[in-house]
Amino acid sequence: MFPRTTFTITVNPKIPPRLKRLEELANNLWYSWDRATRTLFSRLDPHLWEAVGHNPKAFLKRVDESALLKATEDRVFLATYNSILSTYDSYHDESSAQYDINGLHAQDQVAYFCFEFGFHESLPIYSGGLGILAGDHCKAASDLHLPFVAIGLLYRQGYFSQTIDSQGNQQVTYTMSDFEDLPVTPVLHKDGSSVQVEVALPQRQVTVKIWQAKIGHVMLYLLDTDLPENSPQDRYITHNLYGGDRIMRIEQEIILGMGGVRALQALGIKPTIWHINEGHAAFMILERIHNLAQQGLDFASALESVAVNTVFTTHTAVPAGHDHFSADIMHTYFDDFYHSLNITREEFMALGHAAGSPDFNMTALAIHGSRTHNGVSKIHGDVSASICRDLWPQIEPEENPITYITNGVHVPTFLAQEWSDLFDRYLGHEWRNKMCDTEYWSHIDAIPDHLFWSVRQSLKSQMFHGIRSRVTEQNARNRGSEAHLDRLLKFVDPINPNILTLGFARRFATYKRAALLFENLDWLRKIILDQERPVLLIFAGKAHPADTPGQDVIRRISQIAHLPEFEGRLLLIEGYDLRLARRLVAGVDVWLNNPIYPLEASGTSGMKAGINGAINLSVLDGWWGEGYDGQNGWAIKPGPEDMAGMLRDQEESRALYEILQDQVVPLYYNYGKLGYSPAWVKMAKQSMMSLLPRYNSIRMVDEYVKKFYRPASDKNTLYTANAFSEAKRIAAWKTKIRNAWHGITLRRLDVPCERICFNETLNFKVAAKLNNLSPEDVIIELLICRQFKTTRLYNFKHFKFQFTGTQDADEHLFELKLTPELCGRKEYFIRAYPCHPLLTHPLEMGLMVWL
């Protein structure tokens, strides 16, 4: 080839005026849950739609002008276009916003910070469950017309793309995104210049550009450091999600937390509620304290003012999963910062102190800087309370302030269109407004069984089409033969999809035990090789590039899939992403989930499968610990937490095989003359009826509003009034309590009685030395319950003592008259803890004295 210069030019189509609002539709991620909109774009050029990965904005830049002009003459296309615009305009009509009905005030504004967001594959700034959950939270906030903005990072490369070679090795590829192709636009000043903020890093200022993405009513602001004015090192900060070393991580978290606060200031947005979704964004607490300190507020009062309207949600079920940074790193990045707050280095480090480590812990910072904290399932709430128990050292974990709100999924995003159509027909169009009405969803039972089964088979057929395409591409790239491809796809038949299909797709972290099903290959062979009752296994998922054990699991499953007897019966699908996830959760018959208990914080993939009529087979962990009702799926009871790992795997895999061979397979193939199993359909309906109204994101966000957002807003109004007088008052009171608490003692004055008759009254008397505190500063209470072998504090009834006077030696007298309600042996305790009406949680100080 002769030497030559390559020139490029891009030719963009002119959108005809008649179709001008296609650009508006392409720039609002509302399309991620409105299938009609995505279908509209696809109709213009199906092949191009596939080539651009279902990205409407990239599609409009490349679609041929002739296709657009032809569409302007297509009456059916125009009618569909107009119908979609009518739906879009109705959805975005701000006059329908009624914040008081939703629990918030008109002046309220929620700011939701997260490290990743997953809305649709066209915006690749997510890796897995945390991002998808954050995306669903935003979508539900939009559906509810909440005053809500979200803040994240705009990753140039995002998370990696995955391929799997012929040896089962995961191959990682990072792709540079062209932001002009993404559904984002730069935020501009009136003069057309980009809105930017600066964030201080050691010996330099980093410029941060603000982009915006529309999520229905909600605006997502994304921060970007990949700018010419920044150094190459700083441009790289927002390149990769979950990449780099500890220095890269702390710089990303500083940009997100502190830069996010500055971005909102630059935009004139004044949140009244701040939500930290996982600890990555907790540095926002420091920035907000700093801002108040600049207004003259002392550190303690500023901390109280910030914490009272901050919500923190943790998604991690293991201590090692919480981000932490060494003291040296923190000193490098924050030495000047804590001086500006007029506090010592020790006081600053205490904000991130967690027992057992000298490091600065981001979860500890998030908890110290918030007053409402939650896990994402009931089990996870208990686990989180235990993990963080040292932050309230004198409080039992089951009583500390960490509670829970179980996750939910955005139904319009993950419910297959075929179900939407069937619901319209049998439940009426109003089902979209009845998302949490359990009685309403019981009417699914009235859908004829044969129609229900037909939809399930249709969705499986569609899934099989997609799987065939992916496996064919994977086989060609790995230079597999046509004969090999035929063997792989032998049972993936879209025309006759009547084969029991089990799916497992998620992040391949080792605690999720993707390989548990393969503990006993001989037993598994007997289950899946039955010629009369065959079983197909579909696996997909990514392991982090630094997670060698996770990649080993992928390799092992790939090797098993290549064994002659498993070939075609076990498929490992590469390139797991949102698009594949939607196909799998809608198409499989059974959704597998077998984490090590209690390490699954929540898990939402099983919810997505359940609302599509798939049946869950899962360890009783995370959300399934609440969702399983004995009739809507199968449960593997976890072994004791202290059981050795290998023995646990053996015991729980045995339970899995027994359930498969004795219950799942026979139930599915119990056809009779109908061509399907009525008993299977009954369980699938029960799965859908029981899960859809409980595990949707509307219920989840509504819980956040009622339990956290509204109380935080009210407290914020109280604390900020009159030049922060109440924030100053509670800060001063807490200082007084901490200084005096070591001197608090309790002494019982009455003689303990060991036996009474029913309906007799006990008279308890306690003398308390309060170390210069007043009786109003404390609560003295008695806890009593019937005595059992195991007694937890939440089974106790609480009775408060009344202050009756003061005697010598600065002792205050408290008295309680109590008539036990039930007969039997009882145990009781007497204790004291601080009390103030401005506290968000009665035990938030973590101080307790027991008699």
Residues 6 or more apart whose CB falls under 8 angstroms from that of 322 comprise 279, 314, 316, 354, 361, 362, 363, 387
Which residue shows structure tokens 């009781």?
Answer: 828
The CATH number that applies at residue 805 is: 2.60.40
Question: Do 596 and 653 share a domain, yes or no?
Answer: yes
The answer to whether residues 167 and 556 touch, using CB atoms and an 8 Å cutoff, is no
Question: Do 275 and 174 share a domain, yes or no?
Answer: yes
Query: Which is nearest to 322 in space by CA: 360, 271, 285?
Result: 360
Least confident of 8-12, 551-555, 591-595, 655-659: 8-12
Residue 99 above 80 pLDDT? no
> Which of 28, 63, 91 marks a domain boundary?
91
Residue 792 above 70 pLDDT? no
| Within-domain flag for 331 | no
Omega of the bond leading into 202 within 30 degrees of 0 (cis): no
The answer to whether residues 474 and 163 touch, using CB atoms and an 8 Å cutoff, is yes
- Check residue 808 and give its pLDDT: 75
Strand order in 590-593's β-sheet?
570-573, 535-540, 500-505, 590-593, 615-619, 633-636
| Within-domain flag for 502 | yes
Tell me: the pLDDT tens digits for 736-760?
999 999 999 999 999 998 888 888 8
Per the DSSP assignment, residues forming a β-bridge with 205 are: 200
CB atoms near residue 429 (< 10 Å): 10
When pLDDT is averaged across residues 572-594 and rounded to a whole number, the result is: 97
- Check residue 807 and give its pLDDT: 84
H or E element: which one contains 201?
strand 196-201
Question: Do 313 and 235 share a domain, yes or no?
Answer: yes
Question: Do 382 and 271 share a domain, yes or no?
Answer: yes
Two tokens, residue 760:
């007799």
H or E element: which one contains 827?
strand 826-834
| Within-domain flag for 592 | yes
| Within-domain flag for 607 | yes
What is each CA distance from 468 to 358, 580, 591, 660, in whole angstroms?
Answer: 52, 12, 20, 26
Q: Residue 97's pLDDT band (boundaries 50, 70, 90)? A: low
Q: Residue 95's pLDDT band (boundaries 50, 70, 90)? A: low
Helix (H, G, I), strand (E, B) or coil at 850: strand
CB atoms near residue 783 (< 10 Å): 16
Q: Which amino acid is at 779?
A: I
Residues counted in the chain? 851
Q: What integer best gives the mean pLDDT of the chain?
A: 95
The answer to whether residues 394 and 793 touch, using CB atoms and an 8 Å cutoff, is no
Query: Which is nearest to 717 in space by CA: 232, 267, 233, 270?
Result: 270
Helix (H, G, I), strand (E, B) or coil at 828: strand
* Cα–Cα distance measured from residue 418 to residue 416, given in angstroms and rounded to the nearest whole number: 5
User: Does this model's pTM top 0.85?
Assistant: yes
Question: Do 63 and 126 share a domain, yes or no?
Answer: no
> Which of 61, 91, 121 marks a domain boundary?
91
When pLDDT is averaged across residues 187-213 and rounded to a whole number, the result is: 97
Residue 98 above 80 pLDDT? no
When pLDDT is averaged across residues 227-233 and rounded to a whole number, the result is: 97
* Cα–Cα distance measured from residue 459 to residue 613, given in angstroms and rounded to the nearest whole number: 10
Question: Do 527 and 670 share a domain, yes or no?
Answer: yes
* Cα–Cα distance measured from residue 576 to residue 561, given in angstroms and rounded to the nearest whole number: 17
| Within-domain flag for 22 | yes
SS3 sequence, 107-173? Answer: CCCEEEECCCCCCCCCCCCCCCHHHHHHHHHHHHHHHCCCCEEEEEECCCCECCEEEECCCCCEEEE
Distance of CA 681 to the CA centre of its chain: 30
Q: Is the dihedral of CA 39, 42, 46, 51 positive or negative?
A: negative
Q: Is the dihedral of CA 224, 226, 232, 236 positive or negative?
A: positive
Query: Which is nearest to 105 in space by CA: 309, 312, 375?
Result: 309
Which of the given ranges, 4-13, 314-323, 378-387, has the highest pLDDT on average?
378-387
Helix (H, G, I), strand (E, B) or coil at 450: helix
When pLDDT is averaged across residues 346-363 and rounded to a whole number, the result is: 94
What is each CA distance from 623 to 19, 250, 441, 588, 694, in whole angstroms?
Answer: 44, 31, 20, 20, 11
* Cα–Cα distance measured from residue 253 to residue 124, given in angstroms and rounded to the nearest whole number: 19
The answer to whether residues 680 and 614 touch, using CB atoms and an 8 Å cutoff, is no
Query: Which is nearest to 419 in space by CA: 83, 688, 693?
Result: 688
Question: Do 516 and 606 share a domain, yes or no?
Answer: yes
Question: Do 69 and 208 share a domain, yes or no?
Answer: no
The answer to whether residues 669 and 533 touch, using CB atoms and an 8 Å cutoff, is yes
Please tell me the total count of domains within the chain: 4
The answer to whether residues 62 and 52 touch, using CB atoms and an 8 Å cutoff, is yes
| Within-domain flag for 736 | no
The answer to whether residues 171 and 165 touch, using CB atoms and an 8 Å cutoff, is yes
Q: Is the dihedral of CA 417, 422, 425, 429 positive or negative?
A: negative
By residue range, what is the domain housing residue 24?
17-91
Residue 59 above 80 pLDDT? yes
When pLDDT is averaged across residues 641-654 and rounded to a whole number, the result is: 89
When pLDDT is averaged across residues 707-714 and rounded to a whole number, the result is: 97
Question: Do 370 and 460 share a domain, yes or no?
Answer: no
The answer to whether residues 247 and 207 touch, using CB atoms and an 8 Å cutoff, is no
Name which residue leads in pLDDT, 789 or 523.
523
Q: Which amino acid is at 165?
A: D
SS3 sequence, 265-311? Answer: HHCCCCCCEEEEECHHHCHHHHHHHHHHHHCCCCHHHHHHHHHCCEE
Two tokens, residue 206:
């980093």
CB atoms near residue 698 (< 10 Å): 22
What is each CA distance from 395 to 580, 822, 838, 844, in whole angstroms?
Answer: 45, 28, 19, 9
When pLDDT is averaged across residues 663-678 and rounded to a whole number, the result is: 94
H or E element: which one contains 847?
none
* Cα–Cα distance measured from residue 226 to residue 232, given in angstroms and rounded to the nearest whole number: 8
Q: Residue 103's pLDDT band (boundaries 50, 70, 90)? A: confident
Residue 101 above 80 pLDDT? no
Tell me: the pLDDT tens digits for 279-314?
999 999 999 999 999 999 999 999 999 999 999 999
When pLDDT is averaged across residues 650-668 and rounded to a whole number, the result is: 97
Query: Which is nearest to 610 in space by CA: 627, 597, 635, 594?
Result: 627
The CATH number that applies at residue 589 is: 3.40.50.2000
* Cα–Cα distance measured from residue 135 to residue 412, given in angstroms and rounded to the nearest whole number: 13
* Cα–Cα distance measured from residue 599 to residue 452, given in angstroms and rounded to the nearest whole number: 35
The answer to whether residues 430 and 440 touch, using CB atoms and an 8 Å cutoff, is no
Question: Do 385 and 486 share a domain, yes or no?
Answer: no
Secondary-structure breakdown of the chain: helix, strand, coil percentages, each rounded to the nearest 5 = 45, 20, 35
Q: Is the dihedral of CA 679, 680, 683, 688 positive or negative?
A: negative
| Within-domain flag for 620 | yes
The answer to whether residues 26 and 57 touch, using CB atoms and an 8 Å cutoff, is yes
Query: Which is nearest to 704 in space by CA: 125, 28, 133?
Result: 133
Question: Do 86 and 114 share a domain, yes or no?
Answer: no
| Within-domain flag for 332 | no
Question: Do 576 and 657 share a domain, yes or no?
Answer: yes
Burial letters for 808-834: b for 16+ Cβ neighbours within 10 Å, e otherwise? eeebbbbbbeeebeeeeeeebebbbbb
Q: Residue 787's pLDDT band (boundaries 50, 70, 90)? A: confident
- Check residue 106 and give its pLDDT: 87
The answer to whether residues 505 and 581 touch, using CB atoms and an 8 Å cutoff, is yes
The region, left, alpha or beta by phi > 0 then psi within -120 to 50, assigned to residue 194 is beta
Q: Render 747-770 in DSSP notation, one character per residue.
A: EE-SPP-S---TT--EEEEEEEE-
Residues 6 or more apart whose CB falls under 8 angstroms from that of 696 comprise 140, 408, 409, 410, 411, 435, 436, 611
